[in-house]
Chains A and B, each alone.
Chain A
Amino acid sequence: MAAKDSPLKQFEISTISNIEVAGYNLSFTNSSFAMLITVLIITLFLTLTVNTRSIIPSRMQLISELMYNFIAQLLSDTVGDNGKKYFPFVFSLFMFVLIGNMIGMIPYQFTFTSHIIVTFGLAAVVFIGVTILGFLNHGIKFFSFFVIPGVPFYMHPLLIPIEVISYLSRPISLSVRLFANMLAGHTLLKVFAGFVVTMPFFTGAFPLAFIVALTGLEILIAFLQAYVFAILTCLYINDAYHLH
């Protein structure tokens, strides 16, 4: 199969306008374009729908309030009273990933969450932020996070490296989960779309029916992964407050 028909073609980055600053390639690509559209959609949708501020909300206002409540509830469930401060951060993270995934579900659109550098960037922000938060709250005592209480002292040389590796693996597992789900789903869709064209006679209808079902599942996964990203961020923030 020629490279132009590859199921991985959809993940290719193409430059829209070339920008170079101090030897670094900062070009505006189709990925940045998708992110820009995502931010625009979120901003416009949220500001326009809650603009009227009616006591009896319209349907669109209800959607915005539902999203707000969803994340506010999540934060108060996992972090408690301390969590209110972090609502803007978690909410924008959730909306960015959610709308980014949803835009990717529109045919011919680019899915920026299917690139590990994007998801790893988001996860690294969460990880570094949470680590700083832990040090701000507990100072040097934050290192006791890696020491499991009630363990005999001669086990510590073995357990502390394991705990540290487990802590360092957080941003990787956070980013890989989102990236792998999006990459696998979109590749699968394209592979089955290829079957529709190449199978003889009317048998192409079967993969087509499968694609329809798979698209529904993908939309569910798109939402679920944004939710998972948000809930894990909440859990990490909680860890920064309550060691163990």
Chain B
Amino acid sequence: MNYKNKKLEELNKKIDSLSTKKNNLKNNSKDMGAGFGFKISTEIIAALIVGVGIGLIVDNYFNTKPIGLIIFFIFGAFAGFLNVYRVMRRIEKQR
């Protein structure tokens, strides 16, 4: 009986040490430099693409070159920063 208990205890210890190791690994592998940069830059670029696209379409439609482009480019830039802010807030929440 005693022998069995000892073995069980050893097994428990092993499981504990492995699970803490796993948790540590999980925390460390988050947010690598390049991946993080990619994440942020694509958010800004995507919003700018949409802003410029809408601006060009508006200009084409209403013949208001270049006012639509200027206005929607600025809107796009703001939207990009808004996206970045949201991503950062989500990352902060995860921590």
Contact = CB atoms under 8 A, between A and B. Distances in A.
A224 B75 CA distance: 31
Given A172-B49, A173-B83, A177-B38, A165 B75 contact: yes
A88 interface: no
Contacts, number: 55
A181 B38 contact: yes
Contact of A169 (B35, B39, B46, B90): B46
Interface residues of A, number: 18
Nearest to B49: A172
Contact of B83 (A166, A176, A180): A166
A125 B11 CA distance: 48
B66 to A, nearest CB: 17
Contacts of A165: 47, 50-51, 54, 72, 75-76, 79
A228 B38 CA distance: 12
B42 A177 contact: yes
A163 B46 CA distance: 13
A189 interface: no
Interface string A175-189: 011001100000000
**Taking each of B43, B50, B78, B90, which has the highest tally of chain A beta carbons within 10 Å of its own beta carbon?**
B50
B45 interface: yes
Contacts of A121: none
Given A165-B75, A165-B79, A180 B38 contact: yes
Contacts of B35: 181, 221, 224
A234 to B, nearest CB: 12
Nearest to A228: B39
Contacts of B51: 165
Closest 8 A-B residue pairs measured CB to CB?
A173-B46, A172-B46, A165-B79, A169-B46, A166-B79, A169-B47, A169-B50, A177-B42
